[in-house]
Amino acid sequence: MKTKRERTIYLEDTPREEALEQCFRMVNFHDTTEIVTTEKSVGRITAEPIYAHSSNPHFHASAMDGIAVRSRDTEEAHETNPLRLTEHDDFVYVDTGNLIPHGFDAVIMIEDVNEVKTGVLEIIAPALPWQRIRPIGEDITSGEMLLAQGHKIRPIDAGALLASTVKNVKVKRKPKVHIYPSGSELVPPNQPLQPGKLIEFNGTIFSELVKEWGGEPDLKPIVKDDPEKIREALETGVAEADVVIINAGSSAGSKDYTAHIIQELGEVITHGIATRPGKPVIIGKINETIVIGVPGYPVSAYFVMDWFVKPIIHRFLNIPLPQKDTLTVHAGRRIVSSMGSEDFIRVHIGYVDGKYIANPLTRSASVTMSLVKSDGVITIPAGQLGIEQGEKVEAELMKPRSEIQASILFSGSHDLSIDVLSSEMKKTDLLSKVTASHTGSMAGLLAIKRQETHVAGIHLLDPETNQYNLSYIKKFLLGMDLVLLPFLKRQQGMIVPRGNPLGLKVITDIAHTQAHYVNRQKGAGTRILFDHLLKQNGILPQEINGYEREMFTHLSVAAEVKMDEKAVGMGIYSAAKAMELDFVPIEEESYDLLMTKDFFMGTQGQLLLDTLKSEEFKRNVEQLGGYKVDETVTPLYV
Amino acid sequence: MKTKRERTIYLEDTPREEALEQCFRMVNFHDTTEIVTTEKSVGRITAEPIYAHSSNPHFHASAMDGIAVRSRDTEEAHETNPLRLTEHDDFVYVDTGNLIPHGFDAVIMIEDVNEVKTGVLEIIAPALPWQRIRPIGEDITSGEMLLAQGHKIRPIDAGALLASTVKNVKVKRKPKVHIYPSGSELVPPNQPLQPGKLIEFNGTIFSELVKEWGGEPDLKPIVKDDPEKIREALETGVAEADVVIINAGSSAGSKDYTAHIIQELGEVITHGIATRPGKPVIIGKINETIVIGVPGYPVSAYFVMDWFVKPIIHRFLNIPLPQKDTLTVHAGRRIVSSMGSEDFIRVHIGYVDGKYIANPLTRSASVTMSLVKSDGVITIPAGQLGIEQGEKVEAELMKPRSEIQASILFSGSHDLSIDVLSSEMKKTDLLSKVTASHTGSMAGLLAIKRQETHVAGIHLLDPETNQYNLSYIKKFLLGMDLVLLPFLKRQQGMIVPRGNPLGLKVITDIAHTQAHYVNRQKGAGTRILFDHLLKQNGILPQEINGYEREMFTHLSVAAEVKMDEKAVGMGIYSAAKAMELDFVPIEEESYDLLMTKDFFMGTQGQLLLDTLKSEEFKRNVEQLGGYKVDETVTPLYV
């Protein structure tokens, strides 16, 4: 039996940087080193300056295949006065790398001598002193400093170390970071899915990040939400590791034990920082080990790792944090923020008309894909209420600038074929990429108007003419030079559970049967179609059970339907097929691509056109089911 | 017995890009893939688009610890009208991540309910439909494209894959690159040094570069300069690898067999490119394996790897080459180049007075340290004769921009204490670094005049006054606001072999004994001192055996002395000590640091001053031997 427990912890609002400084002040970053062989030293950090053990070359070496001579003896040699040299007395043969015997001070290339007879040669030009000789220490002089301390060893550095017979290197020991996922609802990634059980995947992200940053991760088994188990984990962890991460349970709720236990075993330095997401973080220490309580939601967790674990690892290694690559972007729309917290907004960035336009992705901290898809992150400082549309701000990049610059911004209605388009274009141009925001047809149309996107995917039914798209363009985008590419005819219909348990046949059945309807957001073409159908059939929205519940993509609608025997949603056939659901066709609609003429005439526009026309693309799209790609894709200039 | 052999191969001058294009045209880059587990997929390249196997969450999950309710039931709840809910009938307890039981559609946080008695709760606010619920597919919807093909998997991507139960990923197979070092003079790095034997270290550099670029290297044992052994190696290599590298023997000399053998076994695509360094490269194919003959000198080798092996690996992986980080720099001095070849100049880059100044390092292809030390590389195109002093050019960076910007440019006389200074400063400021060019005292002085350096180390004796430095500054840098920091008194003397076999006591003994003198370059303070001593003692340069042979550092002089029982050189005590040689003191000289007042007053100047004054620094320098660090380091404004 569960009851309400007292909240005993109060979450602070410590500024992020201050929390880190507190940690740096209160923890003793012991300086530990280890010896590694030079062959295994690449990527490691030197713990002290490294000096050459020997010179390279360590003797005067011939730089060529040829003969070693005394330059003084050769001064008279000339084309008109060839000079004869006798082996052993006047010269010795040397190969590249051979030692120059004592007394000799120049090498003549084998190509520049003439053999008169065995052991006797002729030369026709004098040798300059030290010509074609690599003097001792030419590359490296014994005792010279090769690498400073705090240097990350690169392949070429390892080469120089070997060249000067430095076989072992004293490097910073990688800080040990033990990672404990916690939560009774979690199961390891390789177990079958069960309702009520969630896959633990943060631990893998953490491990890989720690590796990337130069630490040595150790991902431990999942710990149950049980104070005793958590205490046990922490005690084991701090005995061995430099940093212990406990994931989830870091907040101040009734089941968030971590902060209590850290306080009992050691000291909580900070609990709660003034950020969104990422607020419920714990920074503590037990003995000399740093303990970080990282929030459970993947986005919060990712940021907390970046803000704290990354600098802590760098501090252990005693190296500066690498600078992040940033880009000046213009906000594609207004982004609101609350006072008092730093806000971290994941954004899509597109290069439109010579400007980088950033549009926010979802701000939900539970959406891993918002990090996967983001091109960059914009930070809104705690003292600022938000960013106005068009305002210039700096974005930290999550993807290379070249990739962002080359990517085609797609906005508008969600369709599964857009992913196929992206893949196919990449086959022609490696750098090409389609960055899609599923905002709905109307939003896509308006993004074209505001020059925030390159391409909009739209399927907007005009109930008066029963035509798609054209009347909307004329109404909303008057005066712009645009191109509409006829793209797909696709099947819209009712996505229903397998076997269609409610036996739905026509739209009116949704109301009659009191089916659980799964709706789409306002401005989505599918929503406009559904509202039109309701009106046409004299049904009021109030008669539709679930009308107010809105989803943003066809696949989300299908996912909802899959969960509920009484559910139904409007959507495209391919989504029903992808989710192995049944489908009741209602209407064939036109899904077209809208873009400016300038974009269409450019390299990217033409690559897009070529891809749409290719047989392979058509075949791949039609395999999704319910599609017919336009035969000619003849551009319509509007 | 060796004789002259015929040159049978003619080296081409193919432009570098053309050589690569020819290779791309003539080789079939077979598309091979492999399956890896998601946990091991980070850093790998997706071979196809990756779709979600299941939704995350895969059920409607509670986002909080609390109670699941039917929102419709709670509409009346109000502070003035608390609503009673009975367990099972009206609500069920749920924890974060729990499944929302069928029929319920909202969660109320445990903190917002009041327990009246066991199984009966009161709420004082209605629940909105779907509040505190993570709907199915909130993060990832089954069937959605997670990653495009050709994507390098990051830690966060691996997390998303696991979250959607993608346990295995089809990725591009890493191309296999077999590396054969060749040369009869080479020995593996862990063997003791022997005269005439050179350490093979290119292979380790190549292996590590191949790893970094995404290939799978296999470093093979050294192959002798024997056509049969080379043929054997190539035949074994091409049977297994995608790329075979054979290092050295790639030129057109009498012992360069590689091109012949490739032509016999397959086809030489290019032999010789129009670059300096790097010209004698071979690109060929045997069956479907690419064979690259890489020149032996480490600098040539490094560039050839970067120009050919790197793009070839990327081509196998079907990903674009990453953009190199570049910086606009001003040439600190004139850099000459020959027509017809691209010239690759390794440079030091310093940030002086708001401009990045680039000064060339040695251009010798055998000097590994010129790559280790370089901050960037300037390319002079084939059709250009050079770069004028002050001219703006792009440099490809070898070190992070932040490191370049923070580093203190040091120029002038070589002294071992400068390395110690660099190390000590880094202890205070992690980013700090001293980038030293050993150009000699006079060159350092003039670099200050031309604003090409921050600090010059000088020890310039004025024979008339018998004073150091000041008169030179007044003569050459008139009108500048400068600061001279008194730094060291150091012992100059004769560096002689152990036991001083020639029994040298005073300078005149060098002439009398016909010792082999090792001189320093013109403009070096030590050279000025030596010339002054000769004059003082009435000795002519012609009387000094070896006067014309010039070395650029004290350590190089010492290295020469170590090789020859009859040698002697002027230099500092610490160099003799580092090389375990004997030393005959001649003079104590003043080695001071010169800089502009602006630099001195800035952060870097003050950090420098603080370091010079620190006890630890003094102790470390005096340990080198022959030094006395100035007690007060009182700046002298000149």
CATH classification of A328-438 is 3.30.300.30, yes or no?
A: no
Does residue B1 have a pLDDT over 50? no
The pLDDT assigned to B3 comes to 38
User: Given pLDDT bands bounded at 50, 70 and 90, which one contains residue B6?
Assistant: very low
Does residue B5 have a pLDDT over 60? no
Q: How far is A480 from chain B (nearest CA, A)?
A: 33
The pLDDT assigned to A526 comes to 94
Interface test with B, best of A162, A219, A552, A573 (most B CBs within 10 A): A162
Whole-angstrom distance, CA of residue B549 vs CA of residue B531? 14
Q: How far is B163 from chain A (nearest CA, A)?
A: 6
- Structural fold of domain B16-29+175-317: Molybdenum Cofactor Biosythetic Enzyme; Chain A (3.40.980)
Does residue B547 have a pLDDT over 70? yes
Interface test with A, best of B1, B53, B58, B416 (most A CBs within 10 A): B58
Tell me the CATH number of domain B61-134, given options 1.10.3720.10, 2.170.190.11, 3.40.50.2300, 3.60.21.10.
2.170.190.11
State which residues of chain A have pLDDT below 50.
1-8
Q: Are A454 and A409 in contact, with CB atoms under 8 Å apart?
A: yes
B525-534 confidence digits (pLDDT tens): 999 999 999 9
Does residue B432 have a pLDDT over 70? yes
Does residue B151 have a pLDDT over 80? yes
Residues of chain A with Cβ-Cβ distance to B410 below 8 Å are none
Interface contact A155-B205, CB threshold 8 A: yes
Q: Which of B60, B208, B431 sits opposite A563 (nearest CB)?
A: B60
Does residue B378 have a pLDDT over 70? yes
Does residue B36 have a pLDDT over 60? yes
Q: Which of A4, A97, A578 sits opposite B183 (nearest CB)?
A: A97
Sort B37 into a burial class: Cβ within 10 Å, 0-12 / 13-18 / 19+: middle
Whole-angstrom distance, CA of residue A426 vs CA of residue A422? 6
Does residue B2 have a pLDDT over 60? no
Interface contact B146-A369, CB threshold 8 A: yes
Tell me the CATH number of domain B481-637, given options 3.40.120.10, 3.40.50.800, 3.40.50.720, 3.40.190.290.
3.40.190.290
User: Is the ipTM above a cut-off of 0.95?
Assistant: no
- Where in chain A is CATH 3.90.105.10? 33-56+139-172
Tell me the CATH number of domain A459-637, given options 3.40.630.30, 3.40.190.10, 4.10.640.10, 3.90.1150.140.
3.40.190.10
- Where in chain B is CATH 2.40.340.10? 326-438
How much of chain B is in helix, strand and coil states, percent to nearest 5?
30, 30, 40
A-B Cβ pairs (cutoff 8 Å, strict): 342
Higher-pLDDT residue of B41, A64: B41
The pLDDT assigned to A368 comes to 97
The pLDDT assigned to B328 comes to 97
Interface contact A369-B98, CB threshold 8 A: no
Average pLDDT over residues B613-637: 92
The pLDDT assigned to A256 comes to 84
Task: Identify the closest residue of chain B to A362 by CA–CA distance.
Answer: B139
Whole-angstrom distance, CA of residue B154 vs CA of residue B440? 48
Name the β-bridge partners of A121. A85, A115
Residues of chain B with Cβ-Cβ distance to A135 below 8 Å are 556, 560
* B355-360 vs B326-331, strand pairing mode: parallel
Q: How far is A576 from chain B (nearest CA, A)?
A: 10
Q: Which of A149, A416, A559 sits opposite B55 (nearest CB)?
A: A559
Phi-psi region of B130 (alpha: psi -120 to 50; beta: other; left: phi over 0): left
- Where in chain B is CATH 3.40.980.10? 16-29+175-317
Q: Are B560 and B518 in contact, with CB atoms under 8 Å apart?
A: yes
Nearest to A88 by CA among A71, A103, A72, A108: A103
Whole-angstrom distance, CA of residue B457 vs CA of residue B460? 10
Phi-psi region of B87 (alpha: psi -120 to 50; beta: other; left: phi over 0): beta
Q: Which two tokens stand for residue B401?
A: 């921009």
Q: Are B71 and B127 in contact, with CB atoms under 8 Å apart?
A: yes
- Where in chain B is CATH 3.40.190.290? 481-637
B591-606 confidence digits (pLDDT tens): 999 999 999 999 999 9
H-only helix segments in A8-147? 16-26
Task: Identify the closest residue of chain A to B158 by CA–CA distance.
Answer: A205
Residues of chain A with Cβ-Cβ distance to B211 below 8 Å are 42
Residue A128: CB partners within 8 Å, gap ≥ 6?
A71, A106
Q: Which of B134, B154, B183 sits opposite A366 (nearest CB)?
A: B134
Average pLDDT over residues B568-588: 94
Record the pTM. Answer: 0.92
DSSP letter string over A30-68?
A: ---EEEEEGGG-TT-BBSS-EE-SS-BSSS-EESSSEEE
DSSP letter string over A212-258?
A: HHT-EEEEPPPBPS-HHHHHHHHHHHHHH-SEEEEES--SSSTT--H
Q: What is residue A448's three-state secondary structure?
A: helix
Sort A465 into a burial class: Cβ within 10 Å, 0-12 / 13-18 / 19+: exposed
Residues of chain A with Cβ-Cβ distance to B87 below 8 Å are none
Tell me the CATH number of domain A33-56+139-172, given options 3.10.20.30, 2.30.30.30, 3.90.105.10, 3.40.640.10.
3.90.105.10
Average pLDDT over residues B399-409: 90
Whole-angstrom distance, CA of residue B577 vs CA of residue B566? 18
Q: What are phi and psi of B399, to 5 degrees?
A: -135, 160
Interface contact B142-A320, CB threshold 8 A: no
The pLDDT assigned to A96 comes to 84
B88-127 confidence digits (pLDDT tens): 999 999 988 899 998 899 999 998 999 999 999 999 999 9
Q: Which residue has the tokens 């060249």?
A: A163
Whole-angstrom distance, CA of residue A204 vs CA of residue A157? 31
B122-148 confidence digits (pLDDT tens): 999 999 988 999 988 999 999 889 999
CATH superfamily of B326-438: MoeA, C-terminal, domain IV (2.40.340.10)
Nearest to A486 by CA among A465, A528, A458, A445: A458
DSSP letter string over B116-155?
A: EETTEEEESSPPPTTTTEE-TTSSB-TT-EEE-TTPBPPH
The DSSP H or E segment spanning B392 is strand B392-397
Q: Provide, rounded to the nearest whole percent, the portion of chain A with pLDDT above 90.
A: 78
The DSSP H or E segment spanning A441 is helix A441-449
Q: Is the peptide bond prior to B217 cis by the omega test (within 30 degrees of 0)?
A: no
CA torsion, points A548, A554, A556, A558, in degrees to nearest 10? 100
Q: Which of B2, B5, B98 sits opposite A185 (nearest CB)?
A: B98
H-only helix segments in B171-253? 202-213, 227-240
Q: Are A287 and A267 in contact, with CB atoms under 8 Å apart?
A: no
Interface contact A2-B198, CB threshold 8 A: no
